[in-house]
Each structure stands twice: as C-alpha cells, then as structure tokens.
Structure 1
C-alpha cells in the first residue's frame, strides 16, 4: 500500500513541476530576450497551482504549438499544421 501511495504522490509532484515549468517558459518568459534563471521564474510564479494551470491553458489556447516549442527540440515540428483527430468538449 505504501508503494502505491508513494507512486501517486510522486506522480502528483511531477505533474505540478511540469505545470510550473510550462508556466515559467511560456507565460512568464522575460521580455526582450533578457536572460533569467528558470528556477527564479518558477519561484516567482503564483503560489496556487490552479492559477498556474489556468494561465498556461490560456497561453496554449492562443498558440497551439507552444507546448511543443517548450518541451521539444527546435526543428522537431513539421511546417504543416496538424489536423486534430478529436474535438475538445465544450464546457458550458
């Protein structure tokens, strides 16, 4: 049982870390190309993870290739826009 709880806790912490990293690289990126520590940017991010995820989700909606640009090496994406195979559910 303890192994399952530890695994779930680790998974949760990794997901939070990736959300904060995405926020730091995509949403809170410094203006004008100024070099800034990624760890300092993460430390300065909002404390509430819901705010971090909400801001990152808004940025992802406005720029569909943002996630790939942050997490994949340059040149990985093709020039042709992807055709979505699924339609997101509307939340209403």
Structure 2
C-alpha cells in the first residue's frame, strides 16, 4: 500500500510537463501514451517482483523498483536543462 501511494507522487509533475510542453493538438495523445506506459510499467513490476523474490529473496525483491524513481529524477533534471523548460509553470523556477 505504501508503494502505491509513493509511486503516484510524481505522476502529476510528469503529466503537467507533458500538457505544458506537448503541441496543443497532441496533448491528449501524449497524456494517453504516458498513462498507458505508466500502467504497463506498474503491471510489469507487480508481475516481476515475486519472480525476483524467488531468486534473491523478499529482502531484495523490491530493490529493482528503485530504477523507476532514479530514471524519473534523471529525466526531470535533463528536462530542466532544456530551453523548453522555461515554458513550465509559466517560466517560474
């Protein structure tokens, strides 16, 4: 349950970035694609975790889930360096 609450925390930031940076005619499609990818990653994680637990034990079964937040953090830091980032939040930092 805790993982479910935590995993949703960055969703709003990514959705806001997509809606502000995507071309107006593609915002709906971009948000749909983002949601679908997020759903597939979640389903995949739920399916793979018990398999990993069988191999390395439950104490390490959730360690691979760290990859998602790390990739998200790197993506946001990368986005921050792009000129398009000035369009986010009305140009406020």
When the two structures are superposed, what TM-score results if normalisation uses the length of structure 1?
0.37
- Structure showing the higher helix proportion among its residues: 2
